[in-house]
Amino acid sequence: KNEVEQSPQNLTAQEGEFITINCSYSVGISALHWLQQHPGGGIVSLFMLSSGKKKHGRLIATINIQEKHSSLHITASHPRDSAVYICAVRDNNTDKLIFGTGTRLQVFP
């Protein structure tokens, strides 16, 4: 079983739709990251969370430590949001990141 599970694996949306991507993890963590990977391969860090909620523009990330679950929301989605969104957790006992398999999002005009 993967230590970090994401759902859905693939997601298509029409421009303007509200998007939710989910992440569940099974290990003790000190932080959770949401990352964005564009088709060229580069990875951009969107959020690092250890509790509660963070917002940046149209992106919102929440985490529930008790339930070991995090969500990434995109409001008013746009075609430029099309990318792979990756959840990664920092293991409690080490500094390494454990990655989910990613959610491929396509937003159509």
User: Which 8-state DSSP code applies to residue 26?
Assistant: -
Site for another protein (CB under 8 A): which residue of 39, 40, 57, 109?
A: 40
4 closest CA partner among 40, 39, 30, 32: 32
The stretch near another protein (CB under 8 A) out of 7-15, 55-63, 67-75, 89-97 is: 89-97
Touching another protein, residues 57-86 (CB under 8 A) = 86
Q: How far apart are CA 102 and CA 84, in angstroms?
A: 6
Residue 101 in the binding site for another protein (CB under 8 A): yes
For 58, list phi and psi in degrees, rounded to 5: -90, 5
Token digits of residue 82: 């099309």
Cβ 108 to another protein shortest distance, Å: 23
Cβ 15 to another protein shortest distance, Å: 27
Q: How far apart are CA 50 and CA 74, in angstroms?
A: 20
Site for another protein (CB under 8 A): which residue of 7, 14, 45, 75?
A: 45
Residue 43 in the binding site for another protein (CB under 8 A): yes
35 closest CA partner among 64, 61, 69, 7: 61
Cβ 31 to another protein shortest distance, Å: 8
Residue 55 in the binding site for another protein (CB under 8 A): no
